[in-house]
Amino acid sequence: MMRPILTAVPQKLTPLSQKLLLLCFCMLPAAALSQSPVITATVDVAKTGAPISKNIYGQFLEHGGDIVNAGIWSEMLVDRKFYYPVALSAPIPQAAMGNAAGNPRSANIPTRWWTPVGGDNVVTMDTKDAYTGDQSPSVVLSPQEPHGLRQSGVTVHKGKTYTGRIVLAGTPGTILKVALIWGGGVSDRQTITLPALGRQYRKFPLHFSATAESENATLEITGSGKGEFHVGAVSLMPADNIDGFRPEIVAVLKQLRFGVLRFPGGNFVSSYEWRYGVGDIDKRPPIFDPVWHALQPNDVGTDEFLTLCKLLGVDPYITVNAGFGDAWSARELVEYTNGVATTPMGKWRAENGHPAPYNVKFWGIGNEPWGDYQMGSMALPQYELKHNIFAKEMKKIDPTITLIAGGAMPDVMEGADQSRRINGQYVPDYLSSADWTGQLLLHCLPNIDMVSEHYYASGTEHTDMKLGKKVPIEPPLSFIESQRAAAVQVRAKYEHYEKYLELIPALRAKPVPIAIDEWAYFLPGKRDSYHTVPAYAWAFHEMFRHSDIFQMANLTFATATFNSKGTEAVLNPTGLLFKMYRDHFGVIPVVVGGNSPQPKPVFPAGGDQPAVNPGSPTYPLDVSAALSEDRKTLTIAVLNPSDTEHSIHLDIHGTTLTSSGKLWRMAPNSIDATVKVGSPAEVQVEEQSLGALPATITLRPFSVNIYSYPVQ
């Protein structure tokens, strides 16, 4: 339907006036006479799809460097179990000493470490009777001056209380002092004098209250007298921690209600020994993670992760080590979490303070096993056997668990340049030896409940099929097309899955949904800005359109949804978007049609380039709609991924809406708007009460809008 340019000539005009008006009309520029049609979206409530899983809003955490240990855990000390020696200069990790030259992960040199008090020769590392790990510091005492060790660079806040513990042994009668120092004055410290030590290690509680702000406070452990003392472990946390987690992070993540949380990796899991992460937290040995080349204290292990899931009200998803790991260890981990207390591993869990089974449902077998960079990588035919062995052993313990296989469709095998390694093809043929997901579905289908897929999009490079490699996009994509990039990857996976349904008849009899258990849209320097929001909204819409196939999506990482500083945290624009859809968008998707098809893809189809562009036929807008779970409310999400204002007519079929509704909208003044602690929020979710749904609505540039109306 064309937008009217001129209404009928009013009868009250004189003949002369009519002629003049007609003359003006005839003199209008041609462009004004040929305006584009009004964009119309047809929402057909009678046509519905499979329910949208809450797990589409899932999150992912990995022990990559300090993402977990510093990002969500409350521990204030670095190397609290003394993996590194106590020394005047910074320790140099083994991986930074030449065996990983050129790898940026190799340069993870600690910024804080333990230094000696009383001279560089007063502390040695005891490797014979270490409390945990390979070594513990031994301090030679002097009657003339205090000897010991300290760590600086600790942040404390005025009026805040800090608690912890220290594990000590030493010459009987030795008196030790532990001080928290936040300034140079006599009163700028608090000192605790501990009872006399003995030959056996004992734990002593610590309790401090800071009276000033400092970003360079010091924890000092000293003694004087004769003999020596040994430090097994020491811990310091804000007293308001919640089961060891940062309370502000728990509070901000809890707002997301994100369904499922994946842990512990990621690449990290392929060299992870889960048994090191349970039991007495101070006795768990510190390790040097060979994947991310960083120290891991093993403080946040299985029980801590499952405690976090309970605090957040989300379902846990555990990935087992199918790299260096074995099926027996995976089986025992399932028994540890889900077995009753009379089983060997269930008994161990109970002894560790958790008598009731956790009943973890989601289990991933390995992480990206298709990558030659993965610890324990192997040829696909061998890995198929390994997957089946793992699956059978794990289900012997709990046959109700959902097993997620480590897949990689042609888009991933091309994007990671793994297909060429296997059979020389840059983009693998379907079901060829380099089609990892296709081969797993062919040979392991009885032992697969979901298939894991990953992707990372930026809109800054594309696949050049002729050159057989990724190349920068020159000139850069238009604003709309750059925002489409995340949804493009979803569409590519949908098209690959449709091909599998054609080629693998058994897949129709036993559908295997996709879990995109790692995904992100990356733009350098835009982590806390609104710039990524339209892209994430578009990706959500594409998953909603194929809700029978996409039943899980876990963002990399959960820490990318908030901004934190000190003891405060706020949802950033990405987090606000996730929360807005989870809180206000429906569950039962309905079909959306339109009169303005999306353009053809910019690049030729193949690998990570789909044959059809994602999006509803409402270009340049994208519309998704869904009923609430009880079917009493219709929600319509309208995304304007362009940098100009657009209007759209909403045509509702199959139901009648009430005359009052609501609008939730994200529409900042700038695409670079941010939300950061300590600064006024430049992005917010606006809520507005509405009357009857307007026949035509106007969308602000790069805005995300959710309309909600009860149905009659």
- Please report whether residue 84 resides in a domain: no
| pTM for the predicted model, two decimal places | 0.91
Q: Are 583 and 258 in contact (CB under 8 A)?
A: no
- Please report whether residue 86 resides in a domain: no
pLDDT digit string, tens, across residues 128-166: 999 999 999 999 999 989 999 999 999 999 999 999 999
What is the per-residue DSSP string for 611-678? SS--S-SBTTBEEEEEE-TTS-EEEEEEE--SSS-EEEEEEEESS-B-S-EEEEEE--S-TT-B--TT
- Please report whether residue 28 resides in a domain: yes
Tell me, what's the pLDDT at 109? 74
| Amino acid found at 556 | T
361 shares its domain with 458: yes
602 shares its domain with 570: no
| Amino acid found at 404 | I
452 shares its domain with 399: yes
Answer whether residue 34 shows pLDDT above 70: no
For the chain, the average pLDDT equals 92
CA angle 280/283/284 to nearest 5° reads: 90
If DSSP states are collapsed to H, E and C, what string results for 27-74?
CCCHHHHCCCCCCEEEEEEEEECCCCCHHHHEEECCCCCCCCCCCCEC
Residues in CB range of 36: below 8 A, 6 or more apart? none
Average pLDDT over residues 679-700: 96
Q: Report CA 621 to chain centroid distance, whole Å.
A: 27
- Please report whether residue 72 resides in a domain: no
Q: How far apart are CA 58 and CA 142, in angstroms?
A: 56
Q: Report CA 708 to chain centroid distance, whole Å.
A: 28
Tell me, what's the pLDDT at 104? 44
pLDDT digit string, tens, across residues 403-458: 999 999 999 999 999 999 999 999 999 999 999 999 999 999 999 999 999 999 98
Tell me, what's the pLDDT at 664? 98
Q: Are 471 and 607 in contact (CB under 8 A)?
A: no
CATH number where 183 lies: 2.60.120.260
CA angle 108/113/118 to nearest 5° reads: 150
- Please report whether residue 533 resides in a domain: yes
Residues in CB range of 72: below 8 A, 6 or more apart? 61, 245, 246, 249, 250, 253, 300, 308, 558, 559
Tell me, what's the pLDDT at 9? 32
Tell me, what's the pLDDT at 26? 39
Instruction: Give the bridge partners for 470, in sequence order.
Output: 463
Task: Report strand pairing: 147-156 vs 115-117.
Answer: antiparallel
45 shares its domain with 58: no
Q: Which segments within 523-582 are labelled E, that is strand? A: 550-556, 562-565, 568-571
CATH number where 639 lies: 2.60.40.1180
Structure tokens at 550: 């996409």
Tell me, what's the pLDDT at 10? 35
Structural domain ending residue among the three candidates 522, 550, 585? 585
Answer whether residue 647 shows pLDDT above 80: yes
pLDDT digit string, tens, across residues 225-274: 899 999 999 999 999 999 999 999 999 999 999 999 999 999 999 999 99
267 shares its domain with 402: yes
Sheet with 214-224: strands ordered across: 115-117, 147-156, 214-224, 175-181, 189-193
pLDDT digit string, tens, across residues 303-323: 999 999 999 999 999 999 999
Question: How many Cβ atoms are within 10 Å of 1's Cβ, its own excluded?
Answer: 8
- Please report whether residue 10 resides in a domain: yes
Q: Phi and psi for 559 in degrees, rounded to 5?
A: -70, -10
336 shares its domain with 391: yes
Biggest CA-to-CA distance, the chain:
117
181 shares its domain with 45: no
Q: How far apart are CA 92 and CA 323, in angstroms?
A: 27
Sheet with 136-140: strands ordered across: 123-126, 136-140, 228-238, 161-170, 202-209
- Please report whether residue 382 resides in a domain: yes
453 shares its domain with 418: yes
Tell me, what's the pLDDT at 94? 67
Tell me, what's the pLDDT at 110? 80
- Please report whether residue 83 resides in a domain: no
37 shares its domain with 9: no
437 shares its domain with 467: yes
Q: Identify which of 642, 634, 638 has the alpha carbon closest to the alpha carbon of residue 589.
A: 634
CATH number where 562 lies: 3.20.20.80
What is the per-residue DSSP string for 248-273? HHHHHHHTT--SEEEES-SGGGGG--
pLDDT band at 16 (very low <50, low <70, confident <90, very high): very low
pLDDT digit string, tens, across residues 412-421: 999 999 999 9
pLDDT digit string, tens, across residues 603-615: 999 889 999 999 9
If DSSP states are collapsed to H, E and C, what string results for 295-312?
EECCCCCHHHHHHHHHHH
H/E stretch holding 162 reads strand 161-170
CA atoms within 13 A on the CB side of 463: 25
pLDDT digit string, tens, across residues 526-582: 878 999 999 999 999 999 999 999 999 999 999 999 999 989 999 999 999 999 999
Q: How far apart are CA 427 and CA 142, in angstroms?
A: 69
pLDDT band at 474 (very low <50, low <70, confident <90, very high): confident
| Amino acid found at 387 | H
Q: Identify which of 318, 274, 262, 267 has the alpha carbon closest to the alpha carbon of residue 293.
A: 267
Instruction: Give the bridge partners for 606, in sequence order.
Output: 609
228 shares its domain with 327: no
Residues in CB range of 102: below 8 A, 6 or more apart? none
Structural domain ending residue among the three candidates 585, 603, 636? 585
Structural domain ending residue among the three candidates 204, 238, 272? 238
287 shares its domain with 215: no
Q: Phi and psi for 287 in degrees, rounded to 5?
A: -130, 160
Q: How far apart are CA 613 and CA 485, in angstroms?
A: 10
Query: Residue 381: which domain range?
Result: 54-65+246-585
Q: How far apart are CA 694 and CA 697, in angstroms?
A: 6
CA atoms within 13 A on the CB side of 674: 12
pLDDT band at 460 (very low <50, low <70, confident <90, very high): confident
Q: How many domains is the chain partitioned into structurally?
A: 4
